[in-house]
Amino acid sequence: MKTFTKALFFLAIILVLGACSDKADEASKEKKENGSSASADSGRVEITYWYPFGDKIGENNVNLVEMFNDSQDEILVNAEFQGNYADLHSKTQAAFAAKNAPEVTLNEIATIGVFAKSGMTQDLTPFTEKDDIDLEDFNPGLMGNSYVDGKLYGLPYLRSTPILYLNVDMLEKAGLDPKGPKNWKEFEEYARALTVEGETVGMSMPVDMWFFEAFVRQGKGQMISDDESEVTFNDEAGVEALTFWKELTEEGIIKIPGGEEASAIAIQDFSNGRSGMYFSSTANLSNVLALSEENGFKVNTAFMPANKVSGVPTGGANLVMIAGLSSEKQDAAWEFIKWMTEKEQTIYASKYTGYLPSRLSAIDSEEMQALYEEVPQYKVAVDQLKNGHARPMAEAYPEISTILRDEITRTLLEEDLSPQDALDKAAELSNRLLK
C-alpha cells in the first residue's frame, strides 16, 4: 500500500507537469506584480524563493527579500508568489520533477516529512553545524516539525497557533466577559448568547483540520498513533469533538460554511459583525486588527478554549532548501535561509504579520516586549505555545486530511449520520493509506 501511495503522489506530479510551461509564464507575471523584480548583477549568485499568500504576509516576504538583497552584494534573491499552501506545494513538486524548482521555498509543517522522504529537500544539519547555529534559541515548541528521521529539514520561519478572536463590542452588548471563554462549556454559553436569529451567530468557522486537531488534543487525544501505523481520530476524543461541533451547528449557534470559500466567508462574517467569535491563525492578527478598525469595533484575542486539557497544534511553515543544488547555489540558499531566521528578521516578521517569533531571543527582545505591552493581542499566541504540539507528518497525512474533512462535512450536513460512524469510515479509508 505504501508503494501505491507513492505512486499516487508521483502521478499527481506528472499531471501537474502538463501545465508546467503555462505555470512558468504565470510565475513570471506574478513575480513582476507581487514579488521582487530585481535583475541579476554581474558576479552575484541568483536564486529564487517561492512563498504563499498575499496581503501582509506577502508584503512581509517581499520586504525581507529586498532587505536581504540590499544587505550584501554576493547573492540576489528573486521572490515569487505562488498562491496558497496547496498551490505552492503542487507547483514545487512539478518544478522539482522538471528540474527547475526554486532554490528556497516554504513547506507547511505537516508536509515537511513528505518532501524530505521524497528526496525533494536538503538536510540542513551540516550547514547548521558548520556555522554553529544555536538551535536552542529556536522556540522548542516549534521544532517538532523540523526534523525527519533525526535530520533537520527546515528552520522555523512564519509559525503560528490557532487563536480565538473576539468582537469585544458584541461580547459586551451580550453581557459577556471580553476576555473570552476558558473552556468548551463557556464557549457554548458565549456562542448561544451571541446568537440572534436571522442577524448574528456565535461563531463562523470552516471545517479545518487544524481546528479539529486542536479539539482532539483538548480531549487528550491525537490524530495518529505514535508509530504512524493507524489513525486514532475516531477514538473518544475525536468523537467528542465532532459531536460538540454537530450539536452547536444543529442548534444554529455556530455556522460552518462549506466549499472553497469557507475561510473567506468566516472572516467576512466576523469583520461585518455577523459573528462574535472567530478561530484563525495568529498570522492573521495584523490583518484582523486592521479590519476591525476599518469596521469600527474592538478585537481581543484569547487561547482556544480548553476541554480536559488545553492544547493546540502549531502551524505555519518552515524554510527549506531544494535538494540537488550545485555547491554554489547551496551556499547561497543557506545564507538566505540563515539570514531570514535570524533574531532581527524574526522580530520584523512577527511585528509585521502577527506570526509567532520563532526565536527565544526575539521574544525576550526589548522591541517585542514593548509591542506586547502596547498591543497585548500579539502575546496571546506566544503564551499559548506552552500548550502547542507538532502536527502529524506521515506521508499519507495530506490525503488523510482530505478524507477526514469530507466525512466531517458530511456528518454536519446529514442529520442522521453520527460522528462515530463518519469518523470510523474516515479511519478505515485512512488506515489503508498508512498500511
Cell of 180: 473570552
Q: In the prediction, which pLDDT does 54 show?
A: 86
Hey, how many other C-beta atoms are within 10 angstroms of the C-beta on 90? 17
Domains of the chain by range and CATH?
2-160+314-389 (3.40.190.10), 162-313+396-434 (3.40.190.10)
Q: In the prediction, which pLDDT does 359 show?
A: 95
d(CA 362, CA 365): 5
Q: In the prediction, which pLDDT does 435 show?
A: 84
Q: Tens of pLDDT along the chain (435 residues)?
A: 444 344 444 434 433 333 333 433 344 344 434 444 444 445 899 999 999 998 889 999 999 999 999 999 999 999 999 999 999 999 999 999 999 999 999 999 999 999 999 999 999 999 999 999 999 999 998 998 999 999 999 999 999 999 999 999 999 999 999 999 999 999 999 999 999 999 999 999 999 999 999 999 999 999 999 999 999 999 999 999 999 999 999 999 999 988 888 989 999 999 999 999 999 999 889 889 999 999 999 999 999 999 999 999 999 999 999 999 999 999 999 999 999 999 999 999 999 988 999 999 999 999 999 999 999 999 999 999 999 999 998 889 989 999 999 999 999 999 999 999 999 999 999 999 998
Cell of 52: 504563499
Q: In the prediction, which pLDDT does 43 show?
A: 87
Q: In the prediction, which pLDDT does 273 show?
A: 95
For residue 315, the surrounding DSSP H or E stretch is strand 315-321
Q: In the prediction, which pLDDT does 42 show?
A: 57
d(CA 87, CA 82): 6
Q: In the prediction, which pLDDT does 2 show?
A: 43
